[in-house]
Copies of this chain bind each other. A is one copy, B any other.
Amino acid sequence: MSVRIAVLGAGRIGQVHARAIAENNTAILAAIADPIATAANAVADHYGCDVRTIDEIAASDDVDGVIICTPTDTHADLIEQFARCGKAIFCEKPIDLSVDRVRACLDVVNECKAVLMVGFNRRFDPHFAALKAAINKGDIGASEMAVITSRDPGAPPLDYIKRSGGIFRDMTIHDFDMAVFLMDEMPVTIQASGSVLVDPAIGAAGDYDSASVILTMASGKQVTISNSRRATYGYDQRIEVHGSKGMVAAENQRPVSIELATSSGYTRPPLHDFFMTRYIDAYAHEIAAFIDSIVNATPASPDGQDGLNALRIADAALLSAQSGKAVHL
């Protein structure tokens, strides 16, 4: 059985997902929607799919699921619309920047018994997935402490930052999701510090560009997170989890792994400089998991509750950074 998928939004991430569907043996890219006709047509031409409006897709009998890649402020409405018409839904994170709006949206999803998967792509990265598998296999015994380092090659445009909800809701949220995913537990206490060290304009926009967080789980397990909006050496994405029997760590990734030795030392090339090349496999595996959940009628994961969890932690972190106090969930 093949499932037929429509992609809403023909931007950068929409194109990535369209390609993942086209290369997936179980799925067919049925339609693309985008208010910019040239963008939609480019995708349609390349993969031989239809261009339709969002409402046409909602009304289409030949579409089983949708992938929402539209601007953030449309996510919750679109989720509700497609939940109501019975389509399986994959939505890029976040569902919304407001916890209340997310809760209301998830109520609709639950009422409609809709399939909703949220785009925390890092869970599907082969390296992080192997790390999680090693933990599940018992390789490190009982998990105790995690250290997550997450630094972007460079800050996004100021305009984006202003709409992003801030570093905790936009960037650290991925680390919050990984923390909960890896430790299998929600934090009860969040301590955070935010600074402006990279670009004063980010501070002027009301945001931080550098952040550190401690999550303490009910069991006492701890996770520390270190974030920066700029890393000259590339997209720095490391996770290590320490437990009673050992530690497991996922290393950084680089496009080519050669090493040059000269009188200046031994040099390996910088890391990937873009999240899309760094996580290209993760995106494909994520879409494959969504398709599997439709084909096998199994629960989608990560789901709306995971999206809500990460957002609640982000809100607590922001409050902690602003107030200088630990925040309890």
Contacts and interface: CB of A to CB of B under 8 A. Distances in A.
Interface of A: 23, 126-127, 130-131, 134, 139-140, 142, 144-145, 147, 149, 151, 189, 191-193, 195-198, 210-214, 216, 220-226, 228, 230-233, 236, 242, 244-251, 253, 255-270, 324-326, 328
Given A191-B193, A233-B262, 18 more contacts: A127-B257, A145-B212, A195-B221, A212-B214, A212-B224, A222-B226, A231-B261, A233-B261, A233-B266, A246-B262, A246-B263, A247-B261, A250-B258, A251-B258, A261-B270, A263-B270, A266-B269, A267-B267
A158 B261 CA distance: 26
Nearest to A23: B23
A149 B145 CA distance: 11
A250 B255 CA distance: 12
A244 to B, nearest CB: 8
Contacts of A225: 224
A244 B198 CA distance: 7
Nearest to A249: B259
A192 B257 CA distance: 30
A264 B263 contact: no
Q: Which of A211, A223, A225, A265 has the most CB of B within 10 A?
A: A265
A28 to B, nearest CB: 13
18 contacts: A126-B255, A126-B256, A144-B228, A147-B224, A191-B192, A191-B326, A195-B221, A210-B222, A212-B214, A224-B226, A228-B242, A232-B245, A232-B262, A247-B261, A248-B260, A248-B261, A264-B267, A267-B268
Contacts of A222: 193, 195, 210-212, 226
A181 B217 CA distance: 31
Contact of A258 (B134, B142, B214): B134
B268 A265 contact: yes
Contacts of A23: 23
A253 B257 contact: yes
Nearest to A127: B256
A268 B259 CA distance: 10
Given A191-B326, A266-B270, A325-B325, A147 B261 contact: no
Nearest to A246: B262
Given A191-B214, A270-B266, A324-B326, A247 B221 contact: no
A126 to B, nearest CB: 5
A139 to B, nearest CB: 6
Contact of A257 (B142, B251, B268): B251
Contacts of A193: 189, 191, 214, 216, 222
A192 B149 CA distance: 18
A192 B246 CA distance: 23
A217 to B, nearest CB: 9
Nearest to A25: B46
A213 B278 CA distance: 30
Given A193-B216, A212-B214, A256-B130, A266 B268 contact: yes
